[in-house]
Amino acid sequence: MDPKQMRPATLAAQAGGVIDMQSGGIVPPIQPSTTYARDRDYAQINPDNMYLRYHNDAVRQAESVLAGLEGGSAALLFPSGMAAIAALFRSVPNRGRVVVQSGIYWGTTLWIRSFCERREIVLCEVDASDGAALAEACAAAPAHLVFVETPSNPWMKSVDIAAAAQAAHGAGALLAVDSTAATPILSQPLSLGADIVMHSATKAINGHTAVLGGVLVARETTPVWEMILEDRGAAGAVMGPFEAWLLLRGMRTRPQRVKAMSANAMAVARFLDDHPAVETVLYPGLSGHPCHALAARQMSGGFGFLMSIVVRGGREAALRVAGRLDLFHRATSLGGVESLVEHRPTLEPQSGLPEGMLRLSVGIEDQRDLIADLAQALGQ
């Protein structure tokens, strides 16, 4: 079967249809060489491979699967999610203009602010979950790039991707969507009009908390995309073959992992929503969430594995709850098979987050055990 005709679960499980034809192995092979030989006439033995900074089979295989899962024409892997974002923003010319969603991952915000200041790029930050505000920001002046994150981390706000694409294109800009918290299993930004979708592959794409990586997937291979491709190789922002092999290995179970995590997260969110020690639950799967209707419209198969809660009593109460948890590991990151808890205000003291906020990444454990762990930590 042509990989383009495979449904997501089949495409992932089959690793894009890759078989090692030399050995017959059904697991894609890994070639760690940093350089590739030429014959006595100085022709490349494999015309696709010259040097690791540009060419590696494991990287190409993982990129092919990711492009297929997103419905894109091409994908590029990077050594981290931030490296992918940096490559995207380096395509913006000096003294250009970008529109960026506020309240997204703090590391992204800090880097973009610093980068734009250095390059004299006009930066407009706007709450993109407010469609009218985003449209107004885009209409104010021509732009090169509009960057949004949906659902956002840690506020869990959703952005209307189709409306954002219309606003961005009206300003002459590309729309890039950070879809890390949704994954290609739950959301397809390119089908809704986005030009580029970005993921921190460190998270649920790998799913085993053992690979650092990032990816950009393009709807079409435009001149901007070619610029990013050339910049990646020349600047050396590449993923190594072992990491790409591990990433491809993790992706083979991703559809099942993400669906199980999403189902667990929904059960956990419902439990927390009724708990007297919890002031607020931020999870788009809850009917009372302000972005629930939008999330339901542009996500399928679940609402993701990530949520934030605000514990009554502020910072000290939230830290006490985190300290009592047994199954939720106190660690930074999200999207792995194990559940994690994080007090984001400790790491982001200047971000304006409520001091009682805890971010939960829900894994694939039995949801009854996760709920029991939260119950005892919260005091019920």
178 has catalytic annotation: yes
- Mean residue pLDDT of the chain comes to 94
Active-site residue, selected from the candidate residues 53, 90, 119, 324: 53
Active-site residue, selected from the candidate residues 97, 203, 232, 254: 203
Please, what CATH class does the domain formed by 254-378 belong to?
alpha beta
Are 212 and 237 contacting, i.e. CB atoms less than 8 angstroms apart? no
Residue 6 has pLDDT above 90, yes or no: no
pLDDT band at 37 (very low <50, low <70, confident <90, very high): very high
pLDDT tens digit string along 42-81? 999 888 888 888 889 999 999 999 999 999 999 999 999 9
pLDDT tens digit string along 202-217? 999 999 999 999 999 9
Query: So what's the pLDDT on residue 278?
Result: 98
pLDDT band at 2 (very low <50, low <70, confident <90, very high): low
Name the CATH topology of 3-251.
Aspartate Aminotransferase; domain 2 (3.40.640)
Active-site residue, selected from the candidate residues 57, 97, 105, 219: 105
Active-site residue, selected from the candidate residues 57, 157, 160, 178: 178
Residue 20 has pLDDT above 80, yes or no: no
Residue 380 has pLDDT above 70, yes or no: no
pLDDT tens digit string along 83-126? 999 999 999 999 999 999 999 999 999 999 999 999 999 999 99
254 has catalytic annotation: no
User: Is the whole-model pTM more than 0.75?
Assistant: yes
Q: Which two tokens stand for residue 159?
A: 């952005």
pLDDT tens digit string along 297-340? 999 999 999 999 999 999 999 999 999 999 999 999 999 999 99
Ranges of CATH 3.90.1150.10 domains, the chain: 254-378
Q: Please indicate whether residue 48 or residue 277 has the higher confidence score (pLDDT).
A: 277
366 has catalytic annotation: no
273 has catalytic annotation: no
Q: How many CA atoms lie within 13 A of 270 on its CB side?
A: 10
Ranges of CATH 3.40.640.10 domains, the chain: 3-251
Q: Could you tell me what percent of the chain has a pLDDT over 90?
A: 84
